[in-house]
Structure 1
């Protein structure tokens, strides 16, 4: 009697290509879903309402899901970036950004300034606990995203890639200025915030695509 023994198997490791794909997809997906809602949901005005406000109302679950999916994809992508970049801090900052995004989905903003439809105009005098936590998580996510862009700029400078170094710094500066303008109550602050943050987010995706296309060689920096 012949005994057939099944070959031993070992747990498969998630490939770098898969993780980098997560990083590449996260930002365009989040931006597309957010902007599609911004232009179609009744009463939403991107010059007055931050994209996080889309988490409120009957259709708020769409943006909540968007934050959770985008955050999880960014977290996964950070591990791919850690494999292909010799920068210690850039992947860590991207990881924290992903955690902040997911947390911003868990803790939603309060209705405000006429959105959803039927909400009184103006900002509420008090915020709920989950709205406060949303603001904290969002602020952390923005801060580390900006830092990640500047760290990548330094890394690319050391590697001699001036084009990517400049683009990294431009993306980080766009997010920084967008945040500062919104914080100071500048005209159309929510719009400038959205433009700046989405620019920085998309740059992280570009870096992931570039590293995947380069065969995952590590960059010294």
Structure 2
């Protein structure tokens, strides 16, 4: 016969419910990055005329199949923005518990905006587009670049905040992984912005690395619940 009081039972039920909700929210973050990477890289490898060493992954939002990449940005961004709440709950009371989730949410919102505002065709992609960039960019192209800058900056900062979080917790492996992921995007984006050779490739590598690392952290947090 159970001796648990009604109040204790209610508390236990609430705790289980809260934990399940947190797991669901963290699952959103776990899924978001692999989804975005797989859809983007599959298109990069299969769409005619696309060259990842010359064209940014955002350019895939153009052309007859552009809706795939637009949807990819919108869905992945939404999952990150929603799932950041789960990350906040999982990290509560630890260093970085405020800013890491907040930065992940900002990155998600930035991805949503990047999907809503499509960049101009670039360097011959999609097929039939001019082989050089147009002299005057459209307003939605400027909006896309601004959204991208917000996303990348937030992801870089989130990775470094997570590095501090794991460093303070004594988890050296995850602390190093967080900083490597942030640095990969920092260098990749910086090289692309400076007009470096194959800058679109370095940017893609950095973005995918940072995004996947955030998913790895969310998966680890989910398992720890």
Task: Give the TM-score normalised by structure 1.
Answer: 0.91
Which of residues 57, 62, 72 is equivalent to 2:68? 62
RMSD (CA atoms) = 1.3
Q: Distance in 1 between matches of 2:83 and 2:187?
A: 26
* Residue 81 (str. 1) matches residue 87 (str. 2): yes
**1:191 Cα offset (Å):** 0.4
Q: Distance in 2 between matches of 1:72 and 1:88?
A: 19
Partner residue in 2 for 1:213 = 223
The equivalent of 2:13 in structure 1 is none
User: Structure 1 regions of 5+ residues with no counterpart?
Assistant: 1-11, 216-221
Using the alignment, how far apart are the partners of 2:68 and 2:207 within structure 1?
20
Give 2:196's match in structure 1, choosing from 179, 186, 210. Answer: 186
Deviations 1:168-200 (A, max 9, x none): 000000000000110111111000000011000
2:27 to 16, 21, 41: 21
Residue 151 of structure 1 and its aligned partner are, at CA, apart by: 0.3
Give TM-score, length-normalised by structure 2: 0.89
1:32 aligns with 2:32: no
Return 5+ residue gaps in structure 2 as ranges. Answer: 1-16
Superposed structure 1 runs of 4+ greater than 4 Å apart: none
Structure richer in helix, relative to its length: 2
